[in-house]
Amino acid sequence: MLRLVLIGPPASGKGTQAEVLTKCLSVPKISTGDMLRAARANATELGKSAESFMNSGLLVPDSIVIGLVEERIALPDAQAGFILDGFPRTVPQAEALQELLGRVGTPLDAVVQIDVARELLVERATLRRMDSRTGQIYHLKYNPPPAGVEVVHREDDREETVKKRLDEYDTMTAALLPFYSALGLLRKVDGAGSPQSVFSQLLSAIGK
């Protein structure tokens, strides 16, 4: 049983850690970004209301995402717990989550922040390359692509874009982290090491 919120900047390895955690603990990863993209692709009413915000890189209104999360965590597979990824992003979302989990008597166990120095994040993203055929990720310095593999530099991994995304992350967490810290729920893990070392820190942060 684990109810967890995972917070981390772009290129912090959050996605990788969330994948391993869901497999290891058999709880679903709930990503509001994924759910909203699916709703947009299926052109549902919700998808249509969210679309213009998403396309212009803005946050979708709290009422929409809160409703989405409320429905999702009521599903049977989330009764044994969940890992929230990309939600909450604002204090009103965090308050709503506290309220709705409190109502059903299943409070959060922890909020884990994967902490990585800004310079390292910029280096990771700007040196990251993707195999255009398979999606496999490489790093020009630490994990270079083998000869013959054609790689691309993703648009959102370019230095200026990365810096902008990091600024947005700092703005978002400026209020969110103190909120969870005041509730005694916040744990920090050092995301600078290997995926394995981050994972073992994560497990100890959540007492597993």
Nearer to ligand AMP, 9 or 86 (CB): 86
> Is residue 128 flagged as an active site residue?
yes
Q: Does 17 bind ligand AMP (CB under 6 A)?
A: no
Closest separation in Å from C-beta 207 to ligand AMP = 26
The answer to whether 205 and 110 are in contact (CB under 8 A) is yes
Beta strands 2-7 and 110-115: pairing type? parallel
Nearer to ligand AMP, 33 or 145 (CB): 33
Tell me how far apart the alpha carbons of residues 158 and 207 are, in angstroms, rounded to a whole number. 37
Q: Does 54 bind ligand AMP (CB under 6 A)?
A: yes
Nearer to ligand AMP, 66 or 189 (CB): 66
Q: Interface with ligand AMP by CB under 6 A: which range of 81-89, 97-105, 182-190, 192-200?
A: 81-89
Beta strands 151-152 and 128-131: pairing type? antiparallel
Q: Does 53 bind ligand AMP (CB under 6 A)?
A: yes
Q: Where are the alpha helices (DSSP H) in 42-158?
A: 45-55, 62-73, 91-103, 118-126
Q: Does 12 bind ligand AMP (CB under 6 A)?
A: no
> Is residue 133 flagged as an active site residue?
no
Q: How far is CA 49 from CA 17, 31, 36, 154, in A?
A: 31, 18, 10, 28
Say whether 78 sits in a helix, a strand or coil. helix
> Is residue 40 flagged as an active site residue?
no
Q: Does 172 bind ligand AMP (CB under 6 A)?
A: no
Closest separation in Å from C-beta 129 to ligand AMP = 21
The answer to whether 39 and 46 are in contact (CB under 8 A) is yes
- Beta-bridged to residue 110, according to DSSP, are 4
DSSP summary character for residue 147: T
> Is residue 158 flagged as an active site residue?
no
Among candidate residues 48, 133, 154, 158, the one labeled active-site is 154
DSSP summary character for residue 144: P
Q: Does 100 bind ligand AMP (CB under 6 A)?
A: no
> Is residue 154 flagged as an active site residue?
yes
Our CA angle for 117, 192, 139, nearest 5°, is 100
Q: Does 15 bind ligand AMP (CB under 6 A)?
A: no
Which positions are catalytic? 14, 89, 128, 154, 165
Q: Which residues bind ligand AMP (CB under 6 A)?
A: 32-33, 36, 53-54, 57-60, 65, 86-89, 93
